[in-house]
Amino acid sequence: MELHQYVHSLRERWRSGLLVAALVLAVVMGLTALQTPRYQATNRIFVQALAGEGVGDLSSGVSYASQQISSYADLASTPFVLNPVIEELGLAMTPAALAENITVTVPTETLILEITATSEDPAEAAAIANSIADNLEKQVASLASDGVSTSIELRVVAPAVVPTSQSSPDIVRNAALAMVLALLAGVATSLARSLLNTRVRQARDVQSGAGPAVIATIPAIRGAESAAKVLVESPHGAASESYRELRTNLQFMKFVDGRRSVLLTSSLKGEGKSTCSVNLAYAVASSDSRVLLIDADLRCPSLHTVLGLEGSAGLSTVLIGQAELQDVVQPVGLEGIDVLSSGMIPPNPSELLGSSAMEELLGEATRLYDFVIVDSAPVLAVTDAAVLSQFVGGVVVVAQNERVRKTELDRSMAKLDAVGAKVVGVVLNRVRGLAGTQDAYAYAYGDAGRDSVATAAEDEESTPSEPGEPSRPVEQSPRKRVLEKVSGSQES
């Protein structure tokens, strides 16, 4: 990964990084708060060489003191010195335990012993340091031979005083350490999640190797009543402009045999392919083109629900020969768009979609309309999309950001490639951060089935022409006749 990719990963995963950083900071400071405060007191002893009769004696004494001072430092932490300290102060500990709380140091090029005692009680720390200094002085004097005066004298030059601040835990140091650890943990978490994430998040996740190009990036949508009508409700928004970009890119695509038809599918359910189909139809129709939108998801259709249309007669009705295409298409609000709903859910969707009747229907549709958009079932769920891909000019795969995995998208491409489908591109859908919105529409593939037939007949069969005159029968529309025919065949 390059530097800008690391920065992008941090921006994408900043929430998880911040959460881990806060957790590390809380743990370190919590452990600091749980530690018992300890205090240190230091007593300083000067090791003095007694003056002789001349300069030579003085120099010899100083040299002797320098040699002996390290021995005195070791002696201060032995039971020889500590036992009297324990008895004097009444400490409930052994000399070994007391020695662990004692530190004796000799500053470089000095004749000074620094005895530091540590305790949870500040007064006790000072008392221990002073008692060790006194007893060390006594024990050193007692080691001299009887009747021989020693040339070394230990004198306390800075008695230990009761400390007013704790020596540990060091809150400032621990706070600084906690901040550094929190920062490192947050960055590491963000980068690790980004590197280990196998879901499709951006264009480079799709365009690996010789894979298809991303021909549009649709932002997540929030605030519209329905994401499928974003071009109507928010024509100047970022999402609407993205769909216009998709329309423009498709206009320059080279389709199979010049067929002006495109199949929209996805790898999984719920990636928003039906939403993209509807909005693409709106975008194409807005450029003064006649568009036919076909709901070819004969397993869990949704376009009739999204657009508020009749769903009992449609594609399946035409494929089984009970109606003609122009008898069952339905116009929607925008001029130039006709919709062919799914019709009744058949028991053999794949066979119907792969039949010659379907091929003939698409051929007729491309002759009657400037552009045909086919909404199909997900590729990995069923074979419907692979079958339909043989009859259209191109296939567009919708991939939802942070939902479909790279391996799943690769499997979808492999299935389409196996049947020779022409995949013209990928639409990266519901990308967060592009418009600060979130799509509210979800494709409920596999939910409970809808009613197979919905009554759409009008209550009144005739209307009066003039007051007092007998009513004249109203001529039935082709679609109404088809609905009655479908209802009659179901009753029989």
Residues 281-315 have pLDDT tens digits of: 999 999 899 999 999 999 999 898 888 898 888 99
Query: Is there a single domain that holds both residue 309 and residue 390?
Result: yes
pLDDT value for 475: 46
Q: Do 145 and 189 share a structural domain?
A: no
432 or 158: whose pLDDT is higher? 158
Specify the range with the lowest mean pLDDT, choosing from 173-182, 320-329, 369-378, 480-489.
Answer: 480-489
Give the mean model confidence (pLDDT) for residues 451-467: 37
* Domain end position, chosen among 447, 465, 480: 447
The domain total for the chain is 3
Q: Are residues 424 and 404 in the same domain?
A: yes
**Tell me, what's the pLDDT at 236?**
85
Distance of CA 464 to the CA centre of its chain: 65
- Asked if residue 126 and residue 17 are part of one domain, the reply reads no
Q: Are residues 301 and 384 in the same domain?
A: yes
Average pLDDT value for residue range 56-70: 69
Residue 291 has what pLDDT?
A: 95
Whether residues 283 and 425 fall in one domain: yes
Residues 272 and 402 in one domain: yes
Residue 76 has pLDDT above 60, yes or no: yes
What integer pLDDT is reported at residue 376 of this predicted model?
Answer: 94
Tell me how many degrees the CA angle 23-26-30 measures, rounded to the nearest 5: 140
pLDDT band, residue 476 (cuts 50/70/90): low
Mean pLDDT for the chain?
Answer: 81
Q: Residue 337 pLDDT > 70, yes or no?
A: yes
183 shares its domain with 317: no
* CA 211/CA 115 separation, integer angstroms: 74
Please tell me the predicted confidence (pLDDT) of residue 453: 32
For the cut 60, the answer to whether the pLDDT of residue 447 exceeds it is: no
Model pLDDT, residue 5: 61
* Residue reference for tokens 């452990």: 31
450 pLDDT exceeds 60? no
At residue 52, the pLDDT reads 53
Residue 465 lies in a domain: no
Q: In the prediction, which pLDDT does 64 show?
A: 72
CA 341 to the chain's CA centroid? 37
pLDDT tens-digit series, residues 369-382: 999 999 999 999 89
User: Do 187 and 147 lie in a common domain?
Assistant: no
Q: Are residues 215 and 126 in the same domain?
A: no
Which token pair is 455? 């009554």
Of 239, 443, 229, the C-alpha closest to 337 is: 229
Mean pLDDT value across residues 228-234: 79
The verdict on residue 481 lying in a domain is no
468 within domain boundaries: no
CATH number at residue 299: 3.40.50.300
Given this model, what pLDDT does residue 207 score? 61
Asked if residue 489 belongs to a domain, the reply is no
Q: Are both 260 and 398 inside the same structural domain? A: yes
- Which of 377, 386, 396 lies closest to 420 in space, CA to CA? 386
| Containing structural domain, residue 191 | 3-35+169-196
Note whether residue 411 is domain-resident: yes
354, pLDDT greater than 90: yes
**What CATH number corresponds to the domain at position 142?**
3.30.70.1130
In a domain? residue 484: no
pLDDT of 342 reads 92
Same domain, 72 and 146: yes
Is the pTM value of this prediction over 0.95?
no
Q: What is the pLDDT of residues 88-146, one digit of tens each?
A: 999 999 999 999 999 999 998 888 999 999 999 999 999 999 999 999 988 888 876 55
Query: Which of the two residues, 191 and 36, has the higher pLDDT score?
Result: 36
Tokens 């309309």 locate to: 369
**The two three-digit tokens of residue 198, written as one number:** 């196998």
Specify if 458 maps to a domain. no
pLDDT at 246 over 80: yes
Q: If phi over 0 gives left and psi between -120 and 50 gives alpha, with beta otherwise, what is residue 388?
A: alpha
Per-residue confidence (pLDDT) for residue 434, from 0 to 100: 60
Q: What is the mean pLDDT of residues 55-80?
A: 76
Does the residue 190 lie in any domain? yes
Among candidate residues 198, 253, 286, 239, the one with its CA nearest the CA of residue 440: 239
Percent of the chain with pLDDT over 70: 78
Whether the predicted pLDDT of 477 surpasses 70: no
Higher pLDDT, 150 or 53: 150
